[in-house]
Chain A
Amino acid sequence: MTAGEGARLGSWTSNRPKGMIPLGNRPILDHLVRGLVSAGITEINMVVGYARNSVMSYFGDGFSFGGKIKYCFQDKPTGTLDAMKIGMSDIEDEFILVPGDNYVSASSFITMKNYDGEALLSGQAERWSKWGEIEIRKDNPSITFDNPDAYGRIHFTGIMKLKRQTAEKMLLSSGRHIGESLQAIASQTSFEVLKAEYWHNIVYPWDLISGNRMALRDNLLFRSAKIEKNVVIKGEVSIGKGTVIRSGSYILGPVSIGEGCDIGPNSVIGSTVSIGDNVIIGPFSEVVDSVVMSNCDLGSYTSLKGSVLGNGVSFGSHSIAIPSTRNIMYFDKEFSVSDRGAMIGDDCIIGSRATLQGGSILLSGATIGEGEFYNANFQGENI
Chain B
Amino acid sequence: MCGIVGYTGDQPAQEIILESLKKLEYRGYDSSGIAMHEGKLVICKKEGPIENMEAELTESNSTLAIAHTRWATHGAPSDANAHPHSDEEISVAVVHNGTIDNYLEIKESLEAEGHNFKSNSDSEILPLLISKYYSGNLVEAMNKTLNDIHGIFTIAAIHKDNPDEIVAVRNETPLVVGIGNSENFISSDIYAILKYTQEIVYPEDYQIIRITSDKVEVFDRDLNLLDYNVETVEKYTEVAEKGGFEHFMLKEIFEQPKALQDSLTELLVESPLERLGLNWKIGSMSIVACGTSYHAGLVGKYIIEQLTAIPVSVSYSSEFRYAAPVQGVGGLLSSRPLVILISQSGETADTLAAARSAKQQGCHTIAICNVPGSRITREVDGVIITKSGQEVGVAATKTFMTQMQALYALAVNLAFNSGSLDHPQSKMWESEIRKIPSKVSQVLNNCESIKALVPHIVKSKSVFFIGRNINYPLALEGALKLKEISYIHAEGYPAGELKHGPLALLSKDTPVIAIAVQDHTYSKLISNIEEIIARKAPVITVAQKGDQLVPKISDHFFELPEIDPVLSPFPVAVFLQLLSYYIADELGTDIDKPRNLAKSVTVE
Contacts and interface: CB of A to CB of B under 8 A. Distances in A.
Interface of A: 14-15, 46, 48, 51-54, 56-64, 69-71, 226, 241-244, 259-260, 262, 277-278, 280, 294-295, 297, 311-312, 346-347
A312 B254 contact: no
Interface in B268-311: 268-270
Nearest to B434: A278
Contact of B254 (A14, A57, A241, A259): A57
A266 to B, nearest CB: 18
A341 B245 CA distance: 40
A230 to B, nearest CB: 20
Question: Nearest 8 CB-CB pairs, A to B?
Answer: A242-B265, A71-B244, A60-B243, A56-B244, A61-B241, A64-B237, A57-B254, A260-B265
A312 B432 CA distance: 11
A59 B255 CA distance: 11
B241 A260 contact: no
A242 B442 contact: no
B243 A56 contact: yes
Contacts of A71: 243-244
Nearest to B261: A277
Contacts of A280: 431, 434
Contact of A57 (B239, B255, B437): B255
Contacts of B447: 53
B241 A312 contact: no
Interface string B427-462: 000010011011001101101000000000000000
17 contacts: A14-B442, A15-B445, A54-B444, A60-B243, A61-B239, A63-B239, A259-B261, A260-B265, A260-B269, A278-B261, A294-B438, A295-B435, A297-B431, A311-B438, A312-B438, A346-B438, A347-B438
B238 interface: yes
B208 to A, nearest CB: 34
Nearest to A73: B244
Interface in B385-403: none
Nearest to A46: B244
Contacts of B431: 280, 297
B264 interface: yes
A346 B235 CA distance: 32
A353 B520 CA distance: 34
Contacts of B254: 53-54, 56-57
Interface in B198-251: 235, 237-239, 241-245, 250-251
Interface string B379-420: 000000000000000000000000000000000000000000
Given A15-B445, A57-B243, A312-B435, A259 B251 contact: no
A14 B445 CA distance: 8
B266 interface: yes
* Residue among B244, B254, B431, B434 with most chain A CB within 10 A: B244
Contacts of B160: none
B266 A242 contact: yes
* Residue among B241, B243, B444 with most chain A CB within 10 A: B243
* Residue among A243, A244, A347 with most chain B CB within 10 A: A347
Contacts of B444: 15, 53-54
Contacts of B437: 278, 294-295
Interface of B: 195, 235, 237-239, 241-245, 250-251, 254-255, 258, 261-262, 264-266, 268-270, 431, 434-435, 437-438, 441-442, 444-445, 447
Given A64-B235, A242-B266, A260-B269, A15 B243 contact: no
A211 to B, nearest CB: 22
A295 B434 contact: yes
A295 B262 CA distance: 13
B241 A63 contact: yes
B269 A243 contact: yes
Nearest to B264: A260
Given A61-B243, A63-B241, A242-B265, A15 B442 contact: yes
Contacts of A53: 245, 250, 254, 444, 447
A103 to B, nearest CB: 22
Given A14-B445, A63-B241, A71-B243, A57 B251 contact: yes
A60 B434 contact: no
Contacts of A52: 244
Nearest to B241: A61
A70 B447 CA distance: 23
Given A57-B245, A259-B265, A260-B269, 8 more contacts: A60-B238, A60-B241, A62-B243, A63-B195, A259-B261, A260-B265, A294-B438, A347-B438
Contacts of A226: 269
Contact of B237 (A60, A242, A277, A312): A60
A294 B431 CA distance: 12
Contacts of B264: 242, 259-260, 277-278
Nearest to A280: B431
Contacts of A62: 243
A214 to B, nearest CB: 26
Nearest to A260: B265
Contacts of A259: 261-262, 264-265
Contact of B270 (A48, A242, A347): A242
B238 A15 contact: no
B271 to A, nearest CB: 11
Contact of B269 (A56, A58, A242, A312): A242
A270 to B, nearest CB: 22
Nearest to B236: A64
* Residue among A54, A57, A241, A297 with most chain B CB within 10 A: A57
Contact of A241 (B239, B265, B442): B265
A64 B270 contact: no
Nearest to A52: B244
Contacts of B245: 53, 56-57
Nearest to B239: A63
A46 B243 CA distance: 11
Nearest to B433: A278
Nearest to A262: B269
Contact of B438 (A57, A60, A262, A295): A295
Contacts of A278: 261, 264, 434, 437
Nearest to A225: B269
B236 to A, nearest CB: 8
A129 B182 CA distance: 54
Nearest to A277: B261
Contacts of A54: 254, 441, 444
Given A260-B264, A312-B435, A60 B269 contact: no
A151 B259 CA distance: 44
A191 B434 CA distance: 50
B20 to A, nearest CB: 15
* Residue among B254, B434, B441 with most chain A CB within 10 A: B434
A61 B244 CA distance: 7
A353 B268 CA distance: 29
Contacts of A48: 244
A226 B271 CA distance: 13
A280 B434 CA distance: 10
A227 to B, nearest CB: 13
Contacts of B242: 61
Contacts of A295: 434-435, 437-438
A56 B251 contact: yes
A242 B268 CA distance: 9
Contacts of A63: 195, 239, 241
B422 to A, nearest CB: 18
